[in-house]
Every structure is written in structure tokens, then in C-alpha cells.
Amino acid sequence: MVKLFSYARDLSQEHFPIKKVELFYELIEKYGFKDAHVTDLVKCRRKAKEPMVPFLEQEIEILKPKLIVAVGKKVKRILEKKLANKEIEIECITHYAYRSKDKNKRLKSDFSRLKEKLIP
């Protein structure tokens, strides 16, 4: 099972940024990850804007993933710190809201790399 974590929401906004995630979800399906568990690292709004680690730990305990795919470098750093004592591999892909001229190309390359690694 692949588990995708993401800072999918801008905590200052009230809505989910649909336009920014369309390509992300299209790539999940296109590259064969439609059965992946997608979750937000941020579970609720808090003044500190910090991940709700107890909820994340419960989710990991229930799902027992062998691999977590961090969506963005910030998420990867948080996961590496919080899961240092667990035997879970962490991969990182470009965040879909990353502002770059070649974002789409980078995302496609990241998904292609994951597919080669995970799907025989």
C-alpha cells in the first residue's frame, strides 16, 4: 500500500484548492495509485499550524504502511523527524502547488519514478 501525505490545504483559506490538485489526482490514477490512501498531514486548523501528530500516528498504526510518499520537502522533513524510530520508507514527490515553470513535468517524472519502484 502506498500512503500519500500532503499539506493539501492552505490553512488561511476556507476552501480546498481544487484547481491546484486536479493534476495531482489525475496522476494518481494514471500511474496506478488509485487505491492509495491520501491524507493531509494537517488534520485541523490550529493557531500554531502544526501537524496533529497523535492523529497521524493513529492513522499509521491502523494502516501499517511500508512506504509513505511525502508530497513536498516540508512534509518529508516532518515525517522523517516524527517517524525516525519506525521502519517506514519515506519517498518525496514535488508538491502539486509548487510554483515552477516545469512543475507538471516534475510531477510526472516523480510519479513515473514511484511507479517503476513500486509496481512490477
pLDDT score recorded for residue 120: 67
b/e map 64-79, b = 16+ CB within 10 Å: ebebbbbbbeebbebb
Q: What is the DSSP letter of 62?
A: H
CA 48 to centroid of chain Cα atoms: 20
Residue with the bigger pLDDT between 99 and 111: it is 111
- Asked if 39 and 79 count as a contact pair (C-beta separation under 8 A), the reply is no
Percent pLDDT > 90 in the chain is 4
Q: With 60 as the cut, is the pLDDT of residue 56 above it?
A: yes
The stretch 33-52 carries a mean pLDDT of 67
* Domains recognised in the chain with CATH numbers: 2-118 (3.40.470.10)
Short-list 116, 20, 36, CA closest to 72 = 20
Q: How many helices (H) and strands (E) does the chain have?
A: 4, 4
Summary mean pLDDT of the chain: 76
Q: With 70 as the cut, is the pLDDT of residue 11 above it?
A: no
pLDDT score recorded for residue 112: 93
- Asked if 9 and 20 count as a contact pair (C-beta separation under 8 A), the reply is no
